[in-house]
Amino acid sequence: MVRQDFIGEVWTSNEIDMKLHIEIDPSSGFCNGVIGAVEKAEKKLKECSKLYSLGAIVHNNSELDRLNKIGLEVIDIEQMKQLHNTTVLIRAHGEPPTTYNVAKENNIKLIDCTCPVVLKLQERIRNTYNSHNGQIVIFGKIGHAEVNGLVGQVNGDAIVVDGLESLDKIDYNRAINIFSQTTKDPYEYEQICSAIKERVVQLGGNESQINIYNTICRQVAQRHKNLVDFAKGHSVIVFISGKESSNGKVLYELCKSVNDRSYHIQTIDQIETSWFKDGDTVGICGATSTPKWQLEGVEKYLYSLSILNC
Ligand code: SF4
């Protein structure tokens, strides 16, 4: 039977009937921080036709396109410096104090959508810096907006490590306070902390000079656990997230590590029918920046390939 369906912007034609069992991961989709930021942007855009967002509100081009169509314009800090007497949204990742200074100087009203979890982490880093002599070490992606915001809390006096190979930056003769970017892999964070402990001991130091702060977002940590079971429980995994999403990269690698038939896509048109066989169970999942409508769009598309969702 040949079937044709219109799904979003994609026409599908299926020459070979397949029976697929399709399921969306119930724990995938926007995290609370992103939900809050997108809701505030949409609310503001109902009152006015245009709103600036400092940086991409979410690392997902499809969602950015949707928001852009209703008036959200993404700007960078250099563009913000040129603006006066307007409103700018701060996304869930947070910002360094210098951004707030620019807003004050240019009479810019801020819609501050910094996630409460990130705000708490920023505060912990500030307090630790002010009350200890030790170094601030942040495990995170160099240049990531959240990490830049964290480093800004201590005027740049922090060491960012992004893997075992960057641990030479740390001074092992001084106290070490370790924090993680909220979306990092909990297992990788554990490995980094263990490696730092080992180096301290090897150099004749004591583990007591290290303070490890568990700052990975609970929602993210829980997703890691759930996703392993979800990926193991399906024949094929279709993982959706933007290229820029660091959480997406981590979660996709996690799926791939337990299910070799895991595929990473940004948009529906990247799906290849050759990935599926008759009788497959297909799991659809995504990052904290993947909107529900995109997960549902892929589900609908896969239904069109399947003669029956068994
Ligand atoms: S991942 Fe967690 S900390 Fe980061 S924005 Fe989402 S809810 Fe907040």
Query: Looking at ligand 1, which residue's alpha carbon is closest to its atom 8?
Result: 33
CB neighbour list of residue 4: distance below 8 Å, 6 or more residues apart: 11, 12, 13, 14
- Is the CB of residue 71 less than 8 Å from the CB of residue 51? yes
What end-to-end distance do the CA atoms of the chain give, in Å?
17
Ligand 1 pocket, CB under 6 A: 31-34, 92, 115, 117-118, 182-183, 217, 219-220, 288
For 80, 190, 247, 273, the CA distances from 238, given in Å and listed in that order, are 37, 28, 16, 12
Note down pLDDT in tens along the chain; length 310 residues. Answer: 333 343 433 334 444 567 899 999 999 999 999 999 999 999 999 999 899 999 999 989 999 999 999 999 999 999 999 999 999 999 999 999 999 999 999 999 999 999 999 999 999 999 999 987 799 999 999 999 999 999 999 999 999 999 999 999 999 999 999 999 998 989 999 999 999 999 999 988 888 999 999 999 998 888 888 999 999 999 999 999 988 888 899 899 999 999 999 999 999 999 999 999 989 999 999 999 999 999 999 999 998 887 544 4
User: For the chain, which domains are there?
Assistant: 3-30+219-309 (3.40.1010.20), 32-114 (3.40.50.11270), 117-216 (3.40.1010.20)
Q: For the segment 51-87, what is each residue's pLDDT rounded down to a tens digit?
A: 999 999 998 999 999 999 999 999 999 999 999 999 9
Q: Is 123 a catalytic residue?
A: no
Q: Kindly give the interhelix angle for 97-105 and 145-152, rounded to the nearest 10 degrees.
A: 80
What radius of gyration, in Å, describes the C-alpha atoms of the chain? Answer: 22
- Nearest ligand 1 atom to the CA of 30 is 6
Q: How many CB atoms lie within 10 A of CB 301?
A: 20
